[in-house]
């Protein structure tokens, strides 16, 4: 059932559908995070992802409380968006050999997932408030705050060191090549000057 399904006839239906969407997404993320943790080579990144896995498990429990308050059984609906993001993360990680670039790729994929969750929670909170369900909005807001905090930590880690390491790995080789080229050029220049000096000396003797 999509957002434009005939089964969605009211704001309550729309809210429930989106709740089922994020519930499915969070459960898929719980399954996907261990793989990302295993692939991460930076200790801080692995620890951060491990901590967020525990947070995500708590978020699933909060969503189940929301279902309970609505008098509904917790269940998800297929979410092609999160499935696509997770599939892309797996594919990108599988194509990267350099460990520094791999860590940067993992952060990028994790943040794409975070941004999807942040968007969904923001929407659900706004709808819950319109529907007069402040008790539900508070539970959703707790999840939203954790998602934003996780995204911020990933940004700090990426901008603080990992992106630079990923970019610097390739730059080092280019810098070495440029240095070698300059040395070769300097050697040629010196040789030319030496050759000119020798010719000048021979002419002077003649």
- The pLDDT tens digits of the residues spanning 127-183 come to 999 999 999 999 999 999 999 999 999 999 999 989 999 998 444 444 444 444 444
Does residue 176 lie in a domain region? no
CA distance 48 to 84: 23
Q: With respect to residue 193, please indicate whether it lies within any of the assigned structural domains.
A: no
41 located within any domain: yes
Q: Which of 169, 53, 27 is nearest to 110 (CA)?
A: 53
The domain of 49 spans 11-169
pLDDT at 96: 84
Q: Does 118 or 187 have the greater pLDDT score?
A: 118
In this structure, what DSSP letter does residue 161 have?
I
Residue 36 lies in a domain: yes
Domain count, the chain: 1
CA atoms within 13 A on the CB side of 121: 26
**Residue 204 is assigned to a structural domain of this protein:** no
pLDDT value of position 95: 79
* Residue 125, token pair as written in the block: 């909170």
**1 band by pLDDT with thresholds 50, 70 and 90:** very low
Evaluate whether residue 64 is within a structural domain. Answer: yes
Q: How far apart are CA 198 and CA 206, in angstroms?
A: 12
State residue 100's pLDDT score.
Answer: 92
What is the phi-psi region of residue 76: left when phi exceeds 0, alpha when psi lies from -120 to 50, beta otherwise? beta
Q: Which of 74, 78, 76, 79 is nearest to 64 (CA)?
A: 74
**For residue 22, what is the domain's CATH number?**
1.20.1260.10
Contact predicate 103/29, CB 8 Å? no
* Mean pLDDT lowest among 14-28, 50-64, 70-84, 168-182: 168-182
Any domain includes 188: no
- The pLDDT tens digits for 34-60 are 999 999 999 999 999 999 999 999 999
Q: How far apart are CA 200 and CA 80, in angstroms?
A: 79
Mean pLDDT (whole number) for 12-18: 96
Residue 132 is assigned to a structural domain of this protein: yes
**Residue whose C-alpha is closest to residue 70's, from 144, 131, 116:** 131
The answer to whether the beta carbons of residues 26 and 59 sit under 8 Å apart is yes
Extract long-range pairs of 125-132: CB within 8 Å, 24+ residues apart. Answer: 127/11, 127/14, 127/15, 127/18, 128/15, 130/11, 131/11, 131/12, 131/15
The position carrying tokens 């790995």 is: 169
């Amino acid at each position: 059932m999509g957002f434009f399904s005939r089964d969605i006839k009211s704001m309550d239906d729309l809210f429930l559908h989106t709740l089922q969407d994020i519930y499915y997404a969070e459960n898929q993320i719980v399954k996907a995070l261990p793989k990302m943790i295993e692939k991460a080579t930076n200790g801080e990144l692995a620890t951060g992802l491990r901590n967020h896995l525990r947070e995500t498990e708590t978020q699933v429990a909060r969503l189940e409380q929301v279902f309970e308050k609505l008098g509904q059984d917790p269940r998800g609906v297929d979410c092609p968006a999160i499935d696509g993001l997770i599939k892309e993360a797996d594919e990108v990680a599988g194509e990267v050999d350099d460990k520094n670039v791999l860590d940067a790729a993992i952060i990028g994929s994790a943040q794409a997932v975070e941004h999807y969750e942040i968007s969904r929670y923001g929407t659900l909170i706004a709808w819950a408030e319109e529907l007069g369900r402040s008790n539900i909005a508070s539970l959703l807001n707790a999840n939203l705050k954790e998602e934003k905090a996780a995204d911020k930590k990933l940004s700090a880690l990426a901008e603080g060191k990992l992106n630079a390491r990923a970019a610097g790995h390739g730059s080092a080789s280019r810098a070495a090549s440029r240095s070698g080229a300059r040395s070769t050029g300097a050697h040629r220049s010196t040789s030319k000057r030496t050759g000119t000096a020798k010719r000048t000396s021979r002419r002077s003797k003649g």
